[in-house]
Structure 1
Amino acid sequence: MQDTTPTVTAKPKQRFPKSVPYIIGNEAAERFSFYGMRSILVTFLVAQFFNPTGNKALTTVAEAHANASTHFFVTLAYTLPFVGGLIADWFTGKYRIILWLSIVYCFGHLFLAIFDSNLNGFITGLVLVAVGAGGIKSCVSANVGDQFDASNQDLLSKVYGWFYFSINAGSMFSTMLIPWTYKYYGAQWAFGIPGLLMALATIIFFSGRKSYVRIPPAGVNKNNLIFVSFYALRNMSKKKPGESILDVAKEKYDPEKVEGFKAVYRVMAVFFFAFAYWAVWDQCLSEWVLQAAKMNLHLNVGFTSFNIIAGQVNTVNTIFLLLFIPIFNYWIYPSLDKIGLKTTPLRRLGFGLFLTALSFVVIALIQTNIDHGGSPSIWWQILAYGILSAAEVLVSITGLQYAYTHSPISMKSTMSGIWFLVVALGNLFTGMINGNISNHGFFANYLVGANYYWFFVGVVAVFLLLFMFVAPHLKERSYIEHPDVVIDDLTIAGETPEK
């Protein structure tokens, strides 16, 4: 008798693309270089250029000047991902722009190291670093996804997990090593080592050139957000009753694309409230570092006690973040959902803004103690970092997830670029406040000492109150068609702030 038992064909084992190790190694080295440089930037600017004699009468103005320079640097770095993404998609492809701008990035670090006593040369270095880091940001994360196809797409979430790990590993090691190097070996080595790591990142990326899947540029796509929006604004008079302003553009542009742009603007309404978060988050790498230098940096941990350097304190943000992501996703969110407190993205965002304000309340109280001649323990600032890191999970990761689920597939890259623009605008606002103080403007008389931090507590509080009134009226439309599709949290977190 013929055997009619069906033959079971074993499913071939999925393998990571050969390009993955190059991408992960490149990202770890690049993040080391960026965060290593940033960990000492504000303290270096004060000590070397803005108050080299340590004159107490110049402290407020010098620190404000350094903070303004740092926030303007971040503004440029986070404005350019949108531009870099467009250039890559339309003209160069991702590989070329990553390689070219990585070389620019290396020259930026070189300028920082050799012009450590020349302000104009140093600023030129900062601009080059911002162009390099910002220009490649959106391309690097998208390049990861380009390496996968239908045969191994199930491994994509795992590779993004390793991608995210490399970001945080590079950040953590650099924020420990570079401030120590600056203290004991000087600025040239402290800026030179990140430059060497960026050179290594470029070499690693170039070494994988034969293994990359390269998506060719598609040319200028006229069905884009900017063209459609301008056309609709110019032809507002054609708007019919019941239509939105963008509907006017359907007579010239792809109607499906126009509907997608409507979703973009709905998500941008939510992003507006994240502006307050980004106006204060990057202060933990600038203003908080300067505050830490005035605190008691001696730590007692178990049977061990040691002193840390002000620039190293930010390392705890990475540690808290790696702890909080699984705690929130696998314990806090499910537990609240079970008791009927549904943790919707908008609720997470609102509570994240509350925690952001609370972290700055702690910082303001610390500064009040310092203003009265005290030297509070650095543990108090570590507490503030813990609260701010929880807010980061609730605001930053949730914001990226909201952008992903509430925009059509053709708009997801656009939304990532716009999210980075929100980061840039938040830093621009803070940079302008500090610039006003350093130039003896209006805020110089009022935002002194703890009042500076109370001001930002107020800014976040105003946005939180507005959010509480507006959130119930925000229209939501999820573009995830299949309820069984799980968005991996590490994938969404792969490009957290500045991370």
Structure 2
Amino acid sequence: MQEAPAVKATPKSRFPKSVPYIIGNEAAERFSFYGMRSILTLFLVNQFFNPNHIDAVNDLANAKANKLHHLFVMVAYALPFVGGMVADWFTGKYKLILYVSMIYCLGHLMLAMFDGGLGGFELGLLVVAIGAGGIKSCVSANVGDQFDATNQDLLSKVYGWFYFSINAGSMISTVAIPWTYDHFGPRWAFGIPGILMALATIIFFSGRKKYVKVPPQGVNRNNLVFITWYALTHAGQRKPGQSMLDVAKGPYDPERVEGVKAVYRVMAVFFFALAFWAVWDQCLSEWTLYAERMNREINLGFTSFTVLPGQLSTVNTVFLLLFIPFFNYIVYPRLDKIGLKTTPLRRLGTGLILTALSFVVIGIIHTSLDHGGKPSIWWQVLAFMILSAAEVLVSITGLEYAYTHSPKSMKSTMTGIWFLVVSFGNLITALVNGLIEDGGWWAHNLKGANYEWFFVIFIVVFILIFLFVAPRLKERNYITDPYIDNQIIADNQ
């Protein structure tokens, strides 16, 4: 009797050897970025804009510090779009991450050295923003480059660890750096994030022989910028019934033109996320200033302690880690089960409402402070809890929407555009603070808690427009219907 051939065991998937270096690098880099931000606004006010703590100039000093902080974030989140293109076209991800990380380290060194001079400190902030923004879009993409067909099943797990490293780095730093600032001063408080960024660079460089390095592809003309420019400059050649971008079909790949259309459809949704990003980063700037004036005594029964102003943002990370599984495994399934389907647009709208509600809480806190009160820090914890829920509904949903509603050729472009939305949101806040700094109508009418009520109204306006526009937005899901572009192109031929 002939024996049946032995069944060959499928080899077990293994993580690439480069993964620990990438995860370690990301944890240290996020420590450096969020650590310096946790004290930035408070330091700017106390060191440069109101060192003598004069009540009469308090609002002006806060506006100056807030403007500078939000301009810093604006630059940091505008550059991932540029960094991604430079890496894809000219340098490759590895070289760009390594070289820009060195610039990043230099920026941190400048912050620690120029803690006594505003001009040098501002230059240091610019250099840090260039470093943080330049590598941002490349680091997460570099993770995916390490995997192939033999271990694709581990990709979701490694991104889970990647996300964990981001939150672990930011959580530790937002506890440690405010404590360092309080006990050892700004030089060490800005110096330690620089040391961690240097460590991040060393970790990344140490894995150089283990990375899969995707070479640059050269300038690809079939992209958003070139196609849009061609369509705008040849609008007169458009045939009846064609969309504005259809005129680019022929000189450019028709499938890529349809991809650019998808990008603009997603950008219509992203517009409403502007309201969220115009206020979110205030929890790391404006809210820190309010926390300094609040009752920060925490009594848990078995122990009590005083929270430092910059440490409050740690609760955002804690709430995020709790809310992400809570929404994904409990809230969304239960609402879907009772017939309230949690579509991305519904999540976004609900997130905007919660964002406005969190600022109502901060407005109440600020009103109390303006009248000489000293509200408990638990009120700000409540505001963080509401804002963290909004972040799950807006930020995570926005990234998911960008991925599912754009074709494969445009997914990296959409990630860069999402970061641009964060950048423009911070630009709005910086402009408002700049108007307050200049005096006149804005300074008079946005004094004290009126600042928060202005942003509540700002968000509510976006919500009302969203309620009108959302039912009219055309949605095309490239995951459930991956061949939609081919069908559109065939119909047009």
1:201 corresponds to 2:236: no
Correspondence for 2:281: 282
Number of positions where the alignment pairs a residue of Structure 1 with one of Structure 2: 482
Whichever residue aligns with residue 397 of structure 2, its letter is T
Equivalence map 1:434-473=2 (5 Å): 434-473=433-472
Correspondence for 1:116: 115
| Identical positions, percent | 71
- Alpha-carbon separation, structure 2, partners of 1:481 and 1:393: 23
- Alpha-carbon separation, structure 1, partners of 2:89 and 2:471: 38
Deviates more, 1:473-482 or 1:228-237: 473-482
Whichever residue aligns with residue 152 of structure 1, its letter is N
- Alpha-carbon separation, structure 2, partners of 1:322 and 1:455: 30
- Cα 1:236/1:396, change in 2 over 3 Å: same
Q: State the TM-score, normalizing by the size of structure 1.
A: 0.96
Equivalence map 1:197-346=2 (5 Å): 197-346=196-345
* Unmatched 5+ stretches in structure 2: 483-493
- Alpha-carbon separation, structure 1, partners of 2:281 and 2:134: 19
How far apart are 1:482 and its partner, in Å? 7.2
- Give 3-state SS (helix, strand or coil) of 2:249's partner: helix
How far apart are 1:252 and its partner, in Å? 1.1
- Alpha-carbon separation, structure 2, partners of 1:245 and 1:206: 46
- Alpha-carbon separation, structure 2, partners of 1:214 and 1:464: 44
- Alpha-carbon separation, structure 1, partners of 2:256 and 2:434: 41
How far apart are 1:235 and its partner, in Å? 1.2
Equivalence map 1:24-173=2 (5 Å): 24-173=23-172
Correspondence for 1:493: none
Report Cα offsets for 1:35-71 as digits up to 9, x if no partner. 0000000000000011111111110000000000000
Correspondence for 1:356: 355
How far apart are 1:305 and its partner, in Å? 1.2
Correspondence for 1:183: 182
1:2 corresponds to 2:24: no
- Give 3-state SS (helix, strand or coil) of 2:241's partner: coil
Whichever residue aligns with residue 16 of structure 2, its letter is P
Correspondence for 2:491: none
How far apart are 1:221 and its partner, in Å? 0.6
- Alpha-carbon separation, structure 2, partners of 1:140 and 1:195: 19
Correspondence for 1:491: none
How far apart are 1:401 and its partner, in Å? 0.1
Correspondence for 2:379: 380
- Alpha-carbon separation, structure 1, partners of 2:16 and 2:301: 44
Whichever residue aligns with residue 267 of structure 2, its letter is M
Whichever residue aligns with residue 172 of structure 1, its letter is M
Whichever residue aligns with residue 120 of structure 1, its letter is G
- Alpha-carbon separation, structure 1, partners of 2:75 and 2:451: 24
- Alpha-carbon separation, structure 1, partners of 2:259 and 2:72: 32
Whichever residue aligns with residue 211 of structure 1, its letter is K
Correspondence for 2:488: none
How far apart are 1:76 and its partner, in Å? 0.2
Report Cα offsets for 1:150-190 as digits up to 9, x if no partner. 00010000000000000000000000000010011000000
Whichever residue aligns with residue 358 of structure 1, its letter is L
Whichever residue aligns with residue 145 of structure 2, its letter is D
- Alpha-carbon separation, structure 1, partners of 2:78 and 2:470: 27
Whichever residue aligns with residue 64 of structure 1, its letter is A
- Alpha-carbon separation, structure 1, partners of 2:301 and 2:130: 44
- Give 3-state SS (helix, strand or coil) of 1:463's partner: helix
Correspondence for 2:405: 406
Report Cα offsets for 1:168-217 as digits up to 9, x if no partner. 00000000000010011000000000000000000000000000000000
- Alpha-carbon separation, structure 2, partners of 1:340 and 1:250: 42
Whichever residue aligns with residue 249 of structure 1, its letter is A
Deviates more, 1:442-451 or 1:19-28: 442-451
Ranges of 4+ aligned residues in structure 1 off by more than 6 Å = none
- Alpha-carbon separation, structure 2, partners of 1:358 and 1:150: 46
How far apart are 1:271 and its partner, in Å? 0.2
Whichever residue aligns with residue 41 of structure 2, its letter is V
Report Cα offsets for 1:333-376 as digits up to 9, x if no partner. 00000000000000000000000000000000111111111000
- Give 3-state SS (helix, strand or coil) of 1:52's partner: coil
- Give 3-state SS (helix, strand or coil) of 1:306's partner: strand
- Alpha-carbon separation, structure 1, partners of 2:301 and 2:278: 36
- Give 3-state SS (helix, strand or coil) of 2:158's partner: helix
Report Cα offsets for 1:380-413 as digits up to 9, x if no partner. 0000000000000000000000000000001000
How far apart are 1:7 and its partner, in Å? 2.7
- Alpha-carbon separation, structure 1, partners of 2:190 and 2:402: 36
Whichever residue aligns with residue 42 of structure 1, its letter is T
Report Cα offsets for 1:402-451 as digits up to 9, x if no partner. 00000000100000000000000000000010011112143111001110
* Unmatched 5+ stretches in structure 1: 484-499
